[in-house]
Chain A
């Protein structure tokens, strides 16, 4: 007769006690000073792990765990865990910053802790004091310099240069899932004389770009678009300045243009999550992230404009990021209207621009 003797009462008790002990121990470790930052991968992560986070840990003794994701995937985590947040500081993008504010997901910054806020440009501050911009970049035109030279096309200057008849089949755009295309829709609408309340004029403009035969490629990820542009499958696209300059600095035949009608104003934000497990440490981290020291490291690695006035950056970087005059000339995008209408816009874009 087969009998199972693996468990008797004493043994079960021993296992249960040791399990409880282990759980209590891990709980104790969590209580120590630490903070969870949900941010981006790639070159940003490298800069954060190598420079910014070690400097913060040395200065404050607070351990940072850096969760890698995209603005959207991290936002989903913040929304899903809204009743018991795991993330302290969430690195949002312009849209998820507004969407999260709307849904009451973020805490106000504490001016008593975030003292660096006084050195931040006004355009980078949030009107309600919830969160602060992490850097500024531009949505503009990225093009392949070699392909342009070979075809004898002058470098683009204006948004309208995308309609150049020599660019048949050579214009690529992101799908609507990527923020730059959402912004492009608003930019095109404003150029066509409309407002963000009704984006049909912008859709019509993009439809005409497709009808001209120029716009044939839609790319669903930044990595894919980089590939298409560097390989020369497409010659011109609409992208963030940071992405284009990183490619250029790696030696790719890529350059970026701030269109004369104005490039799009693009920011990401540091937001403290409401009900965060380490609220004090979260505020301290945001304060450090917008300090001149951290801003310089973040700006250099991401090729973006710092938001702290006292930040010192190299001349090379200064030439590649929007400066004060250019920022003033940039096209501002009303994220509140965008947030309220994004599903309608996605549906219109899917049916009219990308099509089936």
Chain B
């Protein structure tokens, strides 16, 4: 069993004070959080779930009867299955590419001096000061026909520089938007590594590459795992970036939900798509957890 060396269990006041808190007071302290959570998350989700089993007609509105028609349509129609597949593949690939781009940045942050770290954090966070919509419009210009990428491609006599309205374009946009979240998640994990551990590895004769592969990388796994999960769930539910950079050629669940909920006012069907989206994210969460529990690195997660 791993035991943290920082908790000083011999502190006289420590355990006594912690367990002296009477239960009603603990509950009282939890109450605001619980109230907000159930009122603004659990309750709306429950309403959404109930709504997804209702029928809808454009002339008479939502009918209160119980039907599984919405789910049958969403999970059997080829059109929606393609959209489900695309959503899944978009979330996976944007998580993967954020990892490829973000991990070296986090590693650089880890090895930098404390003063440099401040600047790096500032640089990493600065894109968050600009709204996602503005940044996405920027990509629209860069990736579109006669945009920067297209012009460079044409200068070399190449075709296909205009990659707007494709999965590639959406992934580029999402990686740009989500990079800070991933870098911060991994950097936190890296910074928690006791500097003595990699030093011990090198003093025992490990090459820098070996130190990275056997010590630093495995110890940063919790950060990678939570970062990937954050990016996966954010990507699968993102709306602005797929709507603008994917356009009508690259449709995902979120843009489909928008059309059904807002344009067509078919809230029950939109609700069923939203519930399916939640289950996709939940399934990935469970899968990742199971993987972590059985991997050889499971020890670093405790």
CB nearest neighbor in B for A350: B79
What are the interface flags for B243-270 relative to A under an 8 Å C-beta threshold, 1 for contact and 0 otherwise? 1100111010001001101111110000
CB nearest neighbor in A for B16: A1
Q: Which of B95-103, B124-132, B138-146 is found at the contact surface with chain A?
A: B138-146
Total A-B Cβ pairs within 8 A: 87
Within 8 A of B (CB), among A66-122: 72-73, 75-76, 79, 99, 102-103
Cα–Cα, bound, A341→B258 (Å)? 18
Verify if A2 is at the interface (C-beta below 8 Å from B): yes
Verify if A62 is at the interface (C-beta below 8 Å from B): no
Residues of A close to B296: CB separation below 8 A = none
Verify if B115 is at the interface (C-beta below 8 Å from A): no
Verify if A219 is at the interface (C-beta below 8 Å from B): yes
Contact A220 B262 (CB under 8 A): no
From B58, B165, B249, B251, contact of A343 by CB (8 A): B58
Contact A2 B20 (CB under 8 A): yes
Size bracket, chain A contacts: 35 or more
From A79, A227, A232, contact of B137 by CB (8 A): A227
CB nearest neighbor in B for A82: B61
Residues of A close to B61: CB separation below 8 A = 79, 103
CB nearest neighbor in A for B24: A4
Contact A4 B25 (CB under 8 A): yes
Q: How far is the CB of A349 from chain B (nearest CB, A)?
A: 9
Residues of B close to A76: CB separation below 8 A = 261-262, 265
CB nearest neighbor in A for B137: A227
Contact B258 A177 (CB under 8 A): yes
Verify if A175 is at the interface (C-beta below 8 Å from B): yes
Residues of A close to B86: CB separation below 8 A = 356
Q: A177-B258, A224-B137, A350-B251 are in contact. List 13 more A-B contacts (CB 8 A).
A: A72-B262, A76-B265, A79-B265, A102-B59, A103-B61, A220-B243, A220-B248, A221-B244, A232-B146, A342-B264, A346-B259, A355-B249, A356-B79
| 17 A-B pairs with C-beta separation under 8 A | A76-B262, A99-B265, A169-B145, A177-B263, A218-B165, A218-B247, A219-B247, A220-B255, A227-B137, A227-B140, A231-B146, A232-B146, A342-B264, A343-B264, A346-B264, A350-B79, A356-B79
B-binding residues in A (CB < 8 A): 1-4, 72-73, 75-76, 79, 99, 102-103, 169, 175-177, 217-221, 224, 227-228, 231-233, 339-343, 346-347, 350-351, 354-356
The 6 A-B pairs at the shortest CB distance, nearest first, are namely A354-B248, A218-B248, A4-B25, A177-B263, A72-B262, A175-B248
